[in-house]
Amino acid sequence: FNPMYQNSLNQFLVWFFHTLTSTDQCSDAKQRIDLLIDNVTYNSYVALDRGLFVQHKLTFKLLMTLKIMEVERRDTISTNMLDLLFKAGMNLQAEDCPKHKFNWIDDAKVMDKWKNVVALNRLPFFNDLINKIRSNEQEWKNWFSTLNPEEMEIPSFEERLRADPSGPLMRLLLIRALRQDRVCRAADIFVG
């Protein structure tokens, strides 16, 4: 419980009434409502973001982006995707995963990253991920070993990622699966 993050109804009403008075008037009621919703969302976001500690801003931006996608672009996000973003392969047991020979991914005993790959492979978008890694191992190893994989083209998937409306989220999921150390930067690019 952090009292810094308590926002009252009165605070929200101030933002809401400010939005009502500052939003352009429209003769069309639907257009006016859409403008109000967009502006209330934006003004609330700006006001809340201003009050956050720096270390919490990226999390807030990511959660807001995901929520907006969930509401406005249902075709680009699913519960399975969110589960993979937050939990990845944590629910999988080692015996649920096919064996791998990729010691560059992770230790065969620990298998954390490999479990993430197996979980990601269960999404329709990535249903051939394991096969792609097997058939292009050197490319994947090079990508995996770069300092900034979130800024590099992803082997075997770049065209698919660019063509699909959910591509940016899928890119984030892949970074989450294989390079947890780069998730913050990848999330920053995603919400950017």
Residue-level pLDDT at 108: 57
Task: Encode the chain in three state secondary structure.
Answer: CCHHHCCCHHHHHHHHHHHHHHCCCCCCHHHHHHHHHHHHHHHHHHHHHHCCCHHHHHHHHHHHHHHHHHHHCHHHCCHHHHHHHHCCCCCCCHHHCCCCCCCCCCCCCCCHHHHHHHHHHCCHHHCCHHHHHHHCHHHHHHHHHCCCHHHCCCCCCHHHHHHCCCHHHHHHHHHHHHCHHHHHHHHHHHHC
Average pLDDT, the chain: 87
Confidence band of 53 (pLDDT split at 50, 70, 90):
confident
Q: Over the stretch 7-41, which tens digit does the pLDDT of each residue have? A: 677 778 888 888 888 888 888 889 988 889 888 88
Q: Over the stretch 86-144, which tens digit does the pLDDT of each residue have? A: 988 888 777 777 777 777 887 655 578 888 999 999 999 999 999 999 999 999 999 99
Q: Where are the domains of the chain?
A: 77-191
